[in-house]
Homo-oligomer: A and B are copies of this chain.
């Protein structure tokens, strides 16, 4: 079945005359005759009774006439609706980031993006940013906000948002602690609240390894916000990007410790697969940054 044959049939069923119909359809009478014949064969029923003098619809022909009229009209309007929707970008974009990131960076960007592309639905997942890049690599998310890893896989595009220093935090009651002057032995005693994974955890592991010490890990948690929360309750000290602290409702319950070990800064930005940038939707988002 193709729409052309149906158009021919419809035209023919209206004026019941092969000659006139073939002119109206801009084909030869023979082509029309064959097209109708083929339609009849493909359906397995006779659509028209014809002799050399007259053409008339069979019952099945009348059924097809009604059906084809509807079908063609609906197909046309569907096609139009597709074209209308094509003028603006439509689809879905999924973003994975921490709660902090969604508060601090994302709000303005998303509201602007939403205004520019109202047809794109934004699916926002928040959680521990540590597995964000893995999720992007696995194709589970289009975009994540994450710290730039030491060696960025070639398949990833990274656009920095800001650089935030890592700070050691402790609860206000522990403010007297002076880790800087602490010995390795003392470090081994200090209870730590650590991420389960991610670059900060890697840095800390490295640093402890450098001073040949095994950290006393009080708790492993997922998400920077959880670290702040645990620290504020006095369970230990933790390391988070300063920007997390700035956006935390608990920032008055913890304090930044001074004279702490130097850790690399947290290079935070958007991250997506290079190949996904070919998608107009992702490209639109990326180019707006």
Chain A residues at the B interface, C-beta cutoff of 8 Å: 1-3, 43-45, 49, 51, 53-54, 58-60, 63-64, 67, 71, 75, 78-79, 81-83, 85-86, 90-92, 119, 139, 275, 278-279
Contact = CB atoms under 8 A, between A and B. Distances in A.
Contacts of A85: 45, 59-60, 63
9 nearest A-B pairs in the assembled complex, by CB-CB distance: A2-B2, A59-B90, A59-B91, A45-B86, A1-B3, A45-B82, A60-B82, A49-B279, A44-B83
Contacts of A78: 63, 67
Contact of A79 (B43, B54, B83): B43
A45 to B, nearest CB: 5
Contacts of A86: 44-45, 60
A278 B59 contact: no
A1 B44 contact: no
A71 B279 CA distance: 28
Nearest to A282: B49
B49 A83 contact: no
Best-buried of A1, A83, A278 by chain B (most CB within 10 Å): A1
